[in-house]
Amino acid sequence: MSGADERHMRRALELAEGGRGLTSPNPLVGAVVVGADGRVVGEGFHRRAGAPHAEIEALAAAGGGARGGTLYVTLEPCTHQGRTPPCAPAVAAAGLARVVAALVDPNPLVAGRGLEALERAGLAVTRGVLAAEAARQNRAFLTAMRERRPHVTLKAALTLDGKIADVHGGSRWITGPAARRHAHRLRSEVDAIVVGVATVLRDDPELTVRLDAPWPREPWRVVLDTTGRTPPGARLIAAGRPERALIAVGPDAAAGVVAALGRAGATLVRCPTRDGRVDLGALLADLFAREVRAVLVEGGGEVHAAFLDAGLVDRVA
């Protein structure tokens, strides 16, 4: 691994950040094409699910300048047909001499086959350049592919005495303006935001993403509500598309409330229970099936404890 390899891969990682919060269920990917003379001739990144992949963008920008050159890409080129055609054949046909990848794709549909196909096509392949940095960047995708469940971030806003609520039991103003902006940035980077029904009854939150400009994606707004206490008029149902409000109830939830929530447009998911509460593993499996790859758990304290006790927290922010 040369200094040039690290420099170009670092640039590819920077480019990948342009898709932060927009590409799910796909990963963040950036790509740089360096011509045979060592000059950068093309760059690209994956902008959103269904848009061209980073390699395709970079090769299109490079044109004939890719011949004899090197492609730097933060994740192995894919080999399967998804929302877009596979990338590996296009990379093989571009006339490149070499491909440098930070990570092998853990997706079972790829899992090394993309790089192996490029080697069979006669390209030199280097793996693992800035792999640790690339893994941090795509931690949610990697967890989802390896564990077959969403990556879980626990958001813990603490007061100076180490509590997650004030003396009155409220949490609305527990953080200052800068921290609230950070919280909305965290929301923008995930596919689902999870709270307990106690938070809904106390604070009536919207659980929306509020940044300086309108955010193009709407995370699922998920409530853990074993017995069915969420009011049909809760703001999190009316704050966006009602069907993006997902109420996870137990098998014995009050039928009348469940019916009213359904009439309000919310998505109802009946989950098995564990120790008298919604089984979090079952809920995460349901969310994974809905292409949720990253979850932000906002609270409250009992919900935090439940995720921690279940061993389902991957990161605390």
Under a CB-based contact definition with an 8 Å cutoff, are residues 188 and 181 in contact? no
Under a CB-based contact definition with an 8 Å cutoff, are residues 237 and 205 in contact? no
User: Which member of 55, 57, 189, 298 is catalytic?
Assistant: 55
Cα 290 from Cα 81, distance rounded (Å): 19
Secondary structure letter of residue 48 according to DSSP: S
CB atoms within 10 A of CB 190: 26
Tokens in use for 247?
A: 């109420």
Q: Could you tell me the CA-to-CA distances from 126 to 54, 74, 171 in Å, in that order?
A: 18, 12, 50
- Three-state DSSP at 291 gives coil
Tokens in use for 281?
A: 């593993």
Q: Which residue has the tokens 């509020």?
A: 210
Strand runs (DSSP E) across 20-107, as ranges?
A: 30-34, 40-45, 70-75, 98-103
Hey, CA dihedral for 51, 22, 213, 238, is it positive or negative? positive
Within 70-196, residue ranges assigned H as helices are 88-92, 113-120, 131-137, 139-147, 177-188
55 catalytic, yes or no? Answer: yes
By annotation, the residues acting in catalysis are 55
